[in-house]
Chains A and B, each alone.
Chain A
């Protein structure tokens, strides 16, 4: 059987994506980069959905629908996030997360 015709492949791929995304969120300092990493996490999720849908879902449409929804939501999220990032830039003159360290304790 072909390796890319197996559920595991896609699961591992998704897991990898998820890990990368998580890493990016934790490691990158630029807000934009972090945002992108979040998107990666979402995509990992949607890959999962598609994979499960493809291989063992009783109803073939569900996963795809979900994925579509995820795309839309992700888009909205990106918009909001970007707008806030802009606001951050206006106020702090930087989009480096390290500069947003006012609140503590």
Chain B
């Protein structure tokens, strides 16, 4: 078999091994670890970039490698790298655990990479669990006053239950179709949704993915985990695992020959509820990360919107928005972890006077938040508009209307953050020093967010090609 097909995964396996060895060292030297991790992260980017154009199937067709999966793998590698860049101060994780932190970060990345290109139930399940378990461990890795373990245990419980439910659903699917290959199951959708067992199976199976995507009603872990986990971990959860989940959902529905009317309707309702709920609850949050958690719930609703169009345009929009979301969300988290150098949870007021303490960070914060709110000229805006467009093309008028209104609501709390950072001032807070690389990263991110917002053509074309490989 062609090694390149499995290249990224193999590479990260190697990386994981390295970190494992590092974690065995008696006396920890976080600096060195960080150097190595960064190097490996860059290498991972290179490898995934190299493997971008691979095509093929592995492991008895259980594992498909195509442009779609490779793009997402690249995105994941990017997220991995991003998280490493802001990991130079893992203040809240004890030094002897740094290596393990990297280790589990790598393993979860591997899990997600496998997730995006697995097309068989068992493979999906295993890779899903792989990614999840590493995260379960990462969350309570934080040195904290109890909320970390609480977040960890909640994450674990909800995750375990939903994955169990999913497994149960998968078993029904298996029973109903006698196969575990998506390629064989999904064409059978029509008669599947017409049989109770099929419906049940499908529904329960979706639970797992919804859990990853933190769609209502599987969103309960998000706020607690976002707040409880270390900033870097939260960043990874908020960026990488979202992307992976979107990819998986796309695979699921893209192969489908069309679900029943009522099924889609259910999805529509779920999407509406989660975007509305997320936005409304986010309004009253004090903790910045928690606020972002709710915004992520709302965004899950938006993703769903693109997915339920069941049309190419919708998938393109979803892919575009997933990539966009990865970048813009990271921009914001980057600001968080830069401002909260000591790794504490950032209250919104603590952003006070950021324009004075670090103009650049405040600028990227504004850009990132406006992008999340879908204000032009940013990829957030373009992506959202593409989503709406595709939804409207399918005649989901009310969905679009509600989505647009939700945009307004969301703007309110984003503006509150901007208000705090831009207008209020608190002399007690000193300036935030940022290193030159971070500076460059900032500029790069701003450039990406704005640039691809105004000229989205390249990305859209890419997404189009990717979606074509899936269909």
Find out whether A and B make contact in their complex, taking CB atoms under 8 A apart as touching. yes
Residue of A nearest to B139 (CB): A84
A103 / chain B contacts, CB cutoff of 8 Å: 147, 150-151, 154, 223-224, 227-228
Contact residue range for chain A? 35 or more
In-complex Cβ contact of B178 among A58, A76, A97 (8 A) = A58
Q: How far is the CA of A73 from the CA of B134 in the complex (A)?
A: 13
Q: Are B178 and A81 in contact (CB under 8 A)?
A: no
In the complex, whether A16 has a CB less than 8 A from a CB of chain B is no
Q: Are A62 and B180 in contact (CB under 8 A)?
A: yes
In the complex, whether A80 has a CB less than 8 A from a CB of chain B is yes
For B121-160 the 0/1 string (1 means CB < 8 A from A) is 1100110010001001100100001111111111011001
Chain A min CB distance to B76 (Å) = 22
In-complex Cβ contact of B152 among A25, A49, A56, A84 (8 A) = A84
Contacts A80-B133, A80-B137, A87-B140 given; does A38 touch B161 at CB 8 Å? yes
A100 / chain B contacts, CB cutoff of 8 Å: 149-150, 153-154
Chain B min CB distance to A73 (Å) = 5
In-complex Cβ contact of A80 among B126, B146, B156, B170 (8 A) = B156
Contacts A87-B140, A100-B149, A100-B154 given; does A66 touch B175 at CB 8 Å? no
Number of A-B residue pairs, CB cutoff 8 Å, is: 121
Contacts A42-B167, A48-B168, A73-B129 given; does A66 touch B149 at CB 8 Å? no
B290 / chain A contacts, CB cutoff of 8 Å: 105
Q: Are A49 and B140 in contact (CB under 8 A)?
A: no
Q: Are B156 and A81 in contact (CB under 8 A)?
A: yes
A77 / chain B contacts, CB cutoff of 8 Å: 129, 133, 160
A56 / chain B contacts, CB cutoff of 8 Å: 175, 178
* Chain A residues numbered 33-64 whose CB sits less than 8 Å from any CB in chain B: 34-35, 38, 41-42, 44-46, 48-49, 51-52, 56-58, 62-63
In the complex, whether A70 has a CB less than 8 A from a CB of chain B is yes
Chain B binding surface SS class: helix
Chain A min CB distance to B134 (Å) = 9
A51 / chain B contacts, CB cutoff of 8 Å: 175
Q: Are B165 and A41 in contact (CB under 8 A)?
A: yes
Contacts A103-B147, A103-B228 given; does A81 touch B160 at CB 8 Å? yes
In the complex, whether B419 has a CB less than 8 A from a CB of chain A is no
In the complex, whether A13 has a CB less than 8 A from a CB of chain B is no
CB-CB nearest 9 A-B residue pairs: A48-B171, A41-B164, A52-B175, A45-B167, A103-B224, A100-B150, A45-B168, A88-B149, A38-B160
13 A-B pairs (CB sep. < 8 Å): A21-B164, A38-B161, A38-B164, A48-B168, A52-B178, A66-B174, A69-B122, A81-B136, A90-B149, A92-B150, A102-B146, A103-B147, A105-B285
